[in-house]
Chains A and B, each alone.
Chain A
Amino acid sequence: MKGTTAHILRRAARSLWENLYLNAVATGVIAAALLLMGVYLSVQYNVDRIVRTWNQDVHLSVYFKPDTPEDERFALRDRLAADPRVAAVRYVSEAEAATWLAEHVPDTAPVLAELGDDVLPASIEVTLAPPAADMDAAIASFAEEIRSPVVDSVDFGQQWTERFHAFLSLLKLLGAVLGTLILVAALFLVMNTVHLIVYNRRDELETERLVGATGAFIAVPFIVEGVVHGTLGGGLAAGGLWLVHRLVASRLQEAFGLALAGQLAFLPGSWLLLLSLAGVVLGVGAALVSVQRFLAQAP
């Protein structure tokens, strides 16, 4: 058994060495395909992550009708503060709202001064505790509960979230289509490269067959080669992905400052492992198909 394993590895090493160029091409093609897959997965992973952190910090603004007495405002504020689903509340009076706007958008200051202090409605800024399950539904129903005669409107960016979610699902669909295309193209390229390796050695394989080699004898070195292609390709892809990650992170940092760049995460190890595994499956699959094709027509 030890002798057999050594023998198989020797034959595989020799085949790799004698077809170094094509083997490098096969490895490169797998690496490129996995790198593209990895980039796609990274984008998905990070978008999901960022969306999740946004969702954890849900704000509602409850706007009062202008003539609501102060005690009713405070009563609502206290009632909200006592709600277990609420993490924090802050009352913002008309004057505070105007001051905030004047400070943050200086252009509006003269207009506000002319119109008076109570042009903006008073509000309660509510921060929700992260809901357990379906967040959108939880916010919507919570907003519905708050509505009362003194409340003018409850704003939780519903339109914005809906659009953003629609955009996200479009992005995911595009990603899935692109991912599938990449996978099919990679499959095609790898298949053809490995097929070329087998084709290059067909005289030798035919001779082996004619002196009594079994299909397994002929296939096994190619399977080992497939594992090598997949593993090396996976490693190269992981390295390339790391470089891409560093590059994108530093670019984002330049463009948007620390806040966003810090959030960009590298794919977790288990995903990378899965990516390499996909490479091995690709490499071995291509080897099996090519050898099978050869054996089907060998004398």
Chain B
Amino acid sequence: MIRLYHLTKTYGDLPALSDVSLHVAKGEFCYVTGPSGAGKTTLLRLIYGAIRPTAGKLLVGGVDVARLPRRRLPALRRNMGIVFQDFKLIPRRTVAENVGLALEVIGTPRELIQRRVAAVLGIVGLRGRGGEYPPTLSGGEQQRVAVARAIVNDPSIVLADEPTGNLDGAMAIEVMEILQAINLRGTTVLVATHDAALMKRFPYRVVRFEHGRKVSDG
């Protein structure tokens, strides 16, 4: 599903990722871990086409993302659910509108959006909170809104950047269970995290990065 061949991304002279090769199969659950600045976010940003690799090849679902014209990016992202490290919620939109955005951009009728959003908010434990605005929510609640938006469109790939970073133990486990459930339905899930306890509790393949290099895989 996701294939990296000798992928390198440099900012100026500084490499954020160096010569990374990695295959994630369809339906696989995979952690990307490593210390701060290891290149986890950079890797995810490359996969959803926000940045272009400096060298190497990158295929997502058979599509050459590195050479994808900008106008084809929307089609790529509509197949993905992304939980951003900084959430990227729109402060002036309600929780329901934020979650529904992923459906709104593909022209889903309003009634259908409302139904889907209500269901997904229930899944992440925010039932009935759709009318509130993100700035009035706690960090953990905002994170769960971000997770809800990532799964609302039934994507074939979920990319989650520190999806439990702001959550306490019980809440973190709940979010992991949601990702696990989605994975069980056949969705490929890639989670960037440095929460060792969580990786122990939900044991899957772990790919470890340090200073932009892949140092272990398995």
Binding site for B on A (CB under 8 A): 3-4, 7, 18, 203-204, 206-215, 217, 295, 299
Contacts and interface: CB of A to CB of B under 8 A. Distances in A.
Contacts of A3: 109-110
Nearest to B82: A210
Given A217-B105, A299-B45, A212 B110 contact: no
Interface string B58-84: 000000000000110111011010101
29 contacts: A3-B109, A3-B110, A7-B110, A203-B90, A207-B89, A208-B101, A208-B105, A209-B73, A210-B77, A210-B82, A210-B84, A210-B88, A211-B77, A211-B102, A211-B105, A211-B149, A212-B74, A212-B75, A212-B78, A212-B80, A212-B106, A213-B74, A214-B74, A214-B105, A215-B71, A217-B105, A295-B70, A299-B50, A299-B51
B92 A18 contact: yes
B107 interface: yes
Nearest to B152: A211
B48 interface: yes
Contacts of A215: 71
A207 B88 contact: yes
A211 B82 contact: yes
Interface in B40-63: 45, 48, 50-51
Interface string B104-117: 11110110000000
A47 B127 CA distance: 71
A204 B105 contact: no
Contacts of B88: 203, 206-207, 210
A7 B104 CA distance: 9
A138 B71 CA distance: 64
A3 B107 CA distance: 9
A210 B90 contact: no
Interface string B88-99: 111011000000
Nearest to B71: A215
Contacts of B105: 208, 211-214, 217
A4 B51 CA distance: 31
Nearest to B84: A210
Contacts of B45: 299
Contacts of A7: 104, 107, 110
Nearest to B70: A295
Which of A4, A214, A215: most chain B CB closer than 10 A?
A: A214
Nearest to B90: A204
A299 B101 CA distance: 17
5 shortest A-B CB distances, which residue pairs? A299-B50, A212-B77, A212-B78, A213-B105, A211-B102
B92 A211 contact: no
Nearest to A3: B109
A208 B149 CA distance: 12
B90 A212 contact: no
Nearest to A4: B107
A210 B149 contact: no
B50 A210 contact: yes
